[in-house]
Amino acid sequence: MSLLRLKGIDNLSEKISEFKNLRKLDLNFNSLTEPPRSIGKLDNLTSIHLAYNKLKILPDSFGNLKNLKLLVINDNKLIKLPDSFGNLNELESLPESIGNLKNLTLFSLTNNKLIQIPETIG
């Protein structure tokens, strides 16, 4: 299975890590407050869509997703991203909404493969 799309859920089992060949995970428009830590074991994952949930935190294990190129996390309740996000150096783009982080004082993008930085950051 290369794509998994789930709707109408409020939690995701730790067993998600058993889908070793998963490349795309679409969890948009759910009621998730925190993805399972085991999501970091999905070595082949290239995109995760977590928009329009109730996410408050993301597990540190997200930093293990070395092949992740697309991460969509808009319209959540996030207050902090884990330090391990600095390990996601395959990310190719950031959403325009990243500029809405009005209280953000430091945002380091070193050692990444970003093709374009949203104008809203400047």
- pLDDT digit string, tens, across residues 35-64: 999 999 999 999 999 999 999 989 999 999
1-122 — its CATH code? 3.80.10.10
How many Cα atoms occupy the beta-carbon half-sphere of 42 within 13 Å? 26
pLDDT per residue as tens digits for the range 1-29: 799 999 999 999 999 999 999 999 999 99
The per-residue pLDDT of the chain, averaged, comes to 86
pLDDT per residue as tens digits for the range 61-103: 999 999 999 888 888 988 877 888 778 888 877 767 777 766 7
Contact (Cβ atoms closer than 8 angstroms) between residue 32 and residue 10: yes
Handedness of CA 79, 48, 13, 85 (dihedral sign): negative
Total-model pTM: 0.80
* Beta strand pairing call for 47-49 and 24-26: parallel
Q: Where are the domains positioned within the chain?
A: 1-122
